[in-house]
Amino acid sequence: MQRTQVLFLVKFFAVLVAAYLLIAWAPVNDNVIVPFTKAIATGSGVLLNAIGQDVTVRGTTITSQRFAVNINNGCNGVEAMLILLASIVAFPASMKARAAGLILGALAVQVLNAIRIVTLYLLGAYQPKLFDLFHTAVWQIVIIMAAIGFFLLWSARVAPNRLASRA
């Protein structure tokens, strides 16, 4: 394995562990992650109401007469964003490219996560037998793979620029 690959992996895991420890710290969880998750629930509630579902949002819970879903840590897209953050920070690129990658990647993850929450609510309300499968397996894989896929696309786009600037 080349030195640059080892350095990438060391940086990636160091950033990932530090980020996970940071969001697990009660003040950060309570003052950043929980309000962020409430905003995700509110946005998902707006989308569900826009497609004719009569839902109410209280905190991180989306409720109707048919079904209720609570958006917990692990379901708010933050973990996928941390994987993306660690990947982009560890990759040798300019600060401008990293900032653009982080912003666009986080936006992409959260748009996909909103689709995830809406479809999980709909499955819970109309096809409850499929809810657990899609909640624990299908959507978890899709969200993580989307973050990895975004990183691969971003890094492929940034790498030629980085190599050209060295020449």
Give the residue-averaged pLDDT of 51-67: 97
Give the residue-averaged pLDDT of 33-61: 97
pLDDT at 163 over 70: no
Region label for 59, one of left (φ > 0), alpha (ψ between -120 and 50) or beta (otherwise): left
pLDDT at 145 over 70: yes
Whole-model pTM: value is: 0.88
Give the residue-averaged pLDDT of 16-21: 96
Give the residue-averaged pLDDT of 135-150: 95
% of residues, the chain, pLDDT over 90: 90
> Identity (one letter) of the amino acid at 76?
N
pLDDT at 3 over 90: no
pLDDT (0 to 100) of residue 4: 86
Closest to 68 (Cα-Cα) out of 117, 116, 115, 34: 117
pLDDT at 1 over 80: no
pLDDT at 161 over 80: no
- Check residues 164 and 93 and name the one with the higher pLDDT: 93
% of residues, the chain, pLDDT over 70: 95
Residues in the chain: 167
pLDDT at 39 over 90: yes
Q: Give the pLDDT band of residue 48 (cuts 50, 70, 90).
A: very high
Q: Give the pLDDT band of residue 160 (cuts 50, 70, 90).
A: low
Provide long-range contacts, Cβ within 8 A and 24+ apart, for 64-69. Answer: 64/125, 66/124, 66/125, 66/126, 67/121, 67/124, 67/125, 67/128, 69/117, 69/120, 69/121, 69/124
